[in-house]
Structure 1
Amino acid sequence: MSPYDPSAFLPFAVTVDLVVLTVRGQALCTLAVRRGEPPFQGRWALPGGFVRGDEDLAEAAARELAEETGLCARAAAPPAPAGAAHLEQLATYGAPGRDPRMRVVSVAHLALAPDLPAPRAGGDAHSARWAPVEDLLGGDGAFAREGERPAPLAFDHARILADGVERARSKIEYSSLATAFCPPEFTVGELRRVYEAVWGVVLDPRNFHRKVTGTPGFLVPSGGTTTRQGGRPAQLFRAGGATVLNPPMLRPEI
């Protein structure tokens, strides 16, 4: 058997990119950073960075998430500990030329969390903001209202973002992952608005209430009520122990 020769293979780097999704102002938003350094200086991109030599992929993704949002990560099923975000591996992207600096393979991760505060820029990012997903994938919402039409996302981040959004849209059909967008205690109306923001649809309140409260293990009454939405007091719930919804919450056809 011939000896292994590392010099026979091209060197390459590994990065992690993050699709961080939250619901703000009843819109599905993602964390976007404006690059402060080449390549794509001045362009918007997803947060992320190179994997360090002493960490695995999950550790690198959790570190980047903490640096960009201040959130700790969890990989377990809902409910989440207070202040934690759901984090899961999304997909791997390794097309030659996706990064003009060198051959770079990115292992993207999807992070979901409740309404988050204004982000802070870190690493080689010049600034950071929450942007409606529809703006970055071809819409003309908040960016246009603020006088800015963004250029396409840097690298292949538009594809990564689209894949992350579709993962979230499909998973809330058959899992309790939608509760990752909610605070520890929430109303059925607040949960419905999560589904509406992620799916981009309007749902019938009565049918939705019947489905989610009738699915075993999905929601558990917390014993409290709230008037934060105005009107009559609404019952508060927390995420139950179910990780798979049966029957599923099927996405309406548009």
Structure 2
Amino acid sequence: MPSNIERLKIAVEEWLIRNELDIDTGFSSIEEWRARNEDFLNDAELVLVFEGGLYTMLNYGGDTAEFDEYIESFGYFYELGHSWNMGFYPIPNYDYTTLIGSYAQKLQDTRWKEKSKLVKERAGWKCQDCGSIDRIETHHCYYTVMREGNEPWEYPLSALRCLCRSCHEDRSKIESRMRAYLAKLTTNQIDSLKEGLNTAFYWFESDAVVELLSKLGHSDEEIYMAVADLLKKRNDTE
């Protein structure tokens, strides 16, 4: 299993890619960083150098809440050296011991309980699928591969969803079917589909986009009507 700092590096790399913030970013080991004779961050365990979107987010008032919390979930915090680099440091007295036990036992850990509570707070203590306030739970929308060894709380907030018990059970089955469906698509098709939906959901109401996709059949009239309806449901992006 990778070391704690290596697991953090893997997690941050993937988070940056998913959020399209990975352009012009790169990690330096502390040995590589010290060899540059920089004035700052020489006591860090790992250094990230960046420009582009991450630079803007960190230096011009962007929302860093998820990024900050995600790093803390691995037992680290970061400090900026210059405006274009950050160093990662271990949280003092953090327990990095790998927990031995069942998944259910790990969900009793204080770190998971606090993360689960935060997800529910951000959702307004109601199901994000149906709006119910009855028996809400926190759902992992994906799990990392076992070799990365992520604990239940070592996931970004955007990977977690507040659901009622009924929706939780249904969503787990539907997500499993969706993963099986992806076997029909090439890697490029999956990536293009994600990018296309991401763009469409930015500009238009998500339900209208899904409705349009469902109308892409033999009837040109239904397609025209769905497109006309979609154009009436642009999001306010200003």
Whether TM exceeds 0.5 here: the answer is: no
Give the TM-score taking structure 2 as reference length. 0.26
> Greater share of helix residues, 1 or 2?
2
Work out which structure has the larger RCO, using CA pairs closer than 8 Å and 6 or more positions apart in sequence: 1
> Greater share of strand residues, 1 or 2?
1
